[in-house]
Amino acid sequence: MENLIGFVTLLILGYVFGRLAERRHFRSIIKREHQYAGTLTFSAKTPPADMAVANARLVSGNVVVSVDYFKQVLAGLRALLGGRVSAYETLVERARREAILRMKEQARQLDAEMIFNVKLETASISKGEQQQVGSVEVFAYGTALVPQKTATASPNLGQPMASRESA
Amino acid sequence: MEYQNPQVPEGINVSKQHPLKEFAWMLATVGAITLAVVLLLSLLAGWLVKFVPFSVEQQLASQVIQQLPPSASGPNHLQVETYLQQLADKLVANAPLPEGMTITVHYVDDSTVNAAATLGGHVLMYRGLLEKLPNENALAMVMAHEIAHVRHRDPMMSLGRGVVVTTALAALSGFSDTQLSGWVVGFSGNLTLLKFSRDQEHAADENGLLAVHATYGHTGGSEQLFEVLAQAHGDREAWATFLATHPLGDERIAALVEQAQRNGWQQSGPLTPLPEFVRQL
């Protein structure tokens, strides 16, 4: 009986806090994605031929997101029955978008407009270990291209890219 | 060429289903499948046990007996054990066991209020229970109950079921990565096993009362055993019966009274006192 109580308690804790954390994270992701919408990302290897590039730098963003107890149980049951592991879909999506955001943040600091050859690496931490909380790591990296500045070196750092493009 | 990142619609990568709904559905499915599998395997194991000769059970028992607490060193230990063995023999003589089946009684010097039957016809009688029993008739009821377990091959069946079900559950839960779903599977499995155990207890009670009646000519004193047990283990709430291995005391007494009435047995008569050396334990 103690086992059952412990199990249900952990399940409820995992559900409540996991959901709160997830909602908060998604809100933050959506907000920052709007903020960094001007920094364009592409998987293509080569930049446009007509682009005057002053500098090309490797930028990267890394994030580790942990799974809550409820999701773990849900995924465990899913492993018995098969089908979409929806419990982990949001987890991986959050990690992916967060990693790209962190990479964009770095690019923004370099004053870059575009990131080419963007790639994502995913790793699961503590995979296969029993009684361990599983977490997912997503690493995003790419080549940030800093355009040549015009003669009037304007301190436009931090301004949205979109407005600079039209300038 | 225009380079742009169109905005991706929100939520296209994620299932719409509410996680709680998904959880409830999967829990019910896994639970139902497990129950069905365990039930089937238990039945199969129980059926197969009939084909295992009692001599095989006795061989298995030799290992179990070694793990029992060593014989107590008290002055009247042997006297008590001999008395218990004689009582068992008397019950067996009045309600014969199948060919080749023997009963060996062990007196365990421990305060546990219990008695048990294990593989190979070995019956354990704890000091804790002996101290609390008011008369020999109640003691005979415990003894006959445990002998009935041996007759029904219940210890062997539990062993068989235990092995089969544990293996099956380990295989089932092994498919999933988390220990937790394994736990869910195990929980539903345990419930099934308990149900069987309660049926076995009822059958043992019934057979035990038959032996007691055959020995004493009436069933008086038997109900006192359940009063002692109920007092020792505390009266449990009715909802707990489903989770308990043994049925509730009142329920068992009612079943015995009903059995006696059905057979037209006398339900009271002269009670045999326990010998002095047992009462002084």
pLDDT digits (tens, 9 = 90+) for A127-155: 655 556 678 999 999 999 998 876 554 44
> Is the per-residue pLDDT at B187 higher than 70?
no
CB-side neighbour CA atoms (13 Å) of B76:
11
Q: A interface mutation test: which of B16, B21, B26, B185 has the most A CBs within 10 A?
A: B26
Q: State pLDDT tens for residues B48-107.
A: 887 888 888 888 887 777 766 666 566 778 888 899 999 999 999 988 888 889 999 988
> Is the per-residue pLDDT at A164 higher than 50?
no
Give B172's contacts in chain A (Cβ within 8 Å). Answer: 80
Chain B, nearest residue to A27 by Cα: B10
Lookup: tokens for B190: 């345990």
Q: B interface mutation test: which of A16, A41, A53, A77 has the most B CBs within 10 A?
A: A77
Mean predicted confidence (pLDDT) in B226-250: 65
Rg (CA), chain A: 20
Q: Which of A132, A7, A131, A69 has the alpha carbon at shortest distance from B187?
A: A7
- Please tell me the least confidently modeled range out of A77-81, A162-166, B227-231: A162-166
Give A86's contacts in chain B (Cβ within 8 Å). Answer: 14-15, 17, 19, 22
- Please tell me the least confidently modeled range out of A84-93, A128-137, B169-178, B262-271: B169-178
**A residues 94-113 lying closer than 8 A (beta carbon) to B:** none
Mean predicted confidence (pLDDT) in A52-69: 91
Beta bridge partners of A124: A136
Q: State pLDDT tens for residues B67-80.
A: 666 665 667 788 88
- Give the model's pLDDT for residue A19: 92
Cβ neighbours of residue B206 closer than 8 Å, sequence gap 6 or more? B148, B255, B259
Q: A interface mutation test: which of B20, B29, B181 has the most A CBs within 10 A?
A: B181
| pLDDT above 70: percentage of residues in chain B | 82
Query: CB neighbours (10 Å) of residue A31?
Result: 10
Q: Do the chains contact at A93 and B22, CB–CB below 8 Å?
A: no
Chain B, nearest residue to A16 by Cα: B20
- Give the model's pLDDT for residue A104: 96
Q: State pLDDT tens for residues A4-16.
A: 788 889 889 999 9
Measure A113 CA to nearest chain B CA, in Å.
11
> Is the per-residue pLDDT at A116 higher than 90?
yes
Q: Are A131 and A167 in contact (CB under 8 A)?
A: no
Q: Which of B263, B268, B231 has the alpha carbon at shortest distance from B249?
A: B231
Measure B6 CA to nearest chain A CA, in Å.
9
Cβ neighbours of residue A156 closer than 8 Å, sequence gap 6 or more? A111, A164
| pLDDT above 90: percentage of residues in chain B | 17
Better-predicted residue by pLDDT, A63 or B244: A63
State chain B's mean pLDDT as an integer: 81
Mean predicted confidence (pLDDT) in A118-130: 80
**In the block, residue with structure tokens 């607490």:** B69
Q: Chain B contact for A53, CB < 8 A?
A: no
> Any alpha helices (H) in chain A, and if so which ranges?
2-35, 69-81, 86-109, 161-166
Report how far residue B141's alpha carbon sits from residue B209's, in angstroms, rounded to the nearest whole number.
Answer: 7
State chain A's mean pLDDT as an integer: 84
| pTM across the whole model | 0.58
Whether ipTM exceeds 0.85: no
| pLDDT above 90: percentage of residues in chain A | 49
Q: Which of A3, A77, A7, A91 has the alpha carbon at shortest distance from B177?
A: A77
> Is the per-residue pLDDT at B258 higher than 60?
yes
Quote the Cα angle for B11-B12-B16, to 5°: 65
Mean predicted confidence (pLDDT) in B253-277: 89
Report how far residue A31's alpha carbon sits from residue A27's, in angstroms, rounded to the nearest whole number.
Answer: 6
Q: Chain B contact for A5, CB < 8 A?
A: no
Give A69's contacts in chain B (Cβ within 8 Å). Answer: 180
Mean predicted confidence (pLDDT) in B120-126: 88
Give A70's contacts in chain B (Cβ within 8 Å). Answer: 19, 23
Q: Binning pLDDT at 50, 70 and 90, where does residue B148 land? A: very high
Q: Give whichever of A19-28, A86-95, B98-107 has the largest mean pLDDT.
A: A19-28
Q: Do the chains contact at A79 and B176, CB–CB below 8 Å?
A: yes
Q: Chain B contact for A115, CB < 8 A?
A: no
Q: Are A70 and A110 in contact (CB under 8 A)?
A: no
**In the block, residue with structure tokens 């599977």:** B185
Report how far residue B57's alpha carbon sits from residue B121's, in angstroms, rounded to the nearest whole number.
Answer: 9
Q: How far apart are the first and last CA of chain A?
A: 69
- Give the model's pLDDT for residue A167: 35
Q: Do the chains contact at B29 and A114, CB–CB below 8 Å?
A: no
Report how far residue B37's alpha carbon sits from residue B169's, in angstroms, rounded to the nearest whole number.
Answer: 9
Q: Are B138 and B222 in contact (CB under 8 A)?
A: yes
- Give the model's pLDDT for residue A151: 53
